[in-house]
């Protein structure tokens, strides 16, 4: 029976022969993913602040007001 194309064993042999190139591509992708993940600032969690503001309104401190 004739098999057209490359078998998985052939593909693995080709990848092993080009391991430096494959390794460098994997390192470049990993570094790019790490840099993209580090560029965005973490958002401040203010859901609880909004909740308390909704319940009590944004009232001023009475002690500061009397001084």
> What residue spans define the domains of the chain?
8-66
* Mean pLDDT of all residues in 5-28: 86
Which range has the worst mean pLDDT, 4-8, 22-26, 27-31?
A: 4-8
The confidence band for 50, taking pLDDT boundaries of 50, 70 and 90, is confident
* Mean pLDDT of all residues in 29-49: 79
Question: Do 22 and 15 touch, CB atoms closer than 8 A?
Answer: yes
The model's pTM: 0.39
Measure the CA–CA gap between 6 and 12, rounded to whole angstroms.
Answer: 10
**What is the average pLDDT value for the chain, to the nearest integer?**
78
């Amino acid at each position: 029976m004739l098999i057209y194309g490359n078998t998985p064993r052939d593909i693995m042999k080709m990848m092993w022969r080009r391991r430096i190139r494959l390794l460098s591509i994997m390192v470049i992708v990993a570094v790019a993913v790490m840099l993209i993940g580090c560029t965005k600032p973490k958002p401040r969690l203010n859901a609880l602040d909004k909740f308390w503001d909704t319940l009590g309104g944004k009232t001023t401190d009475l002690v500061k007001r009397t001084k």
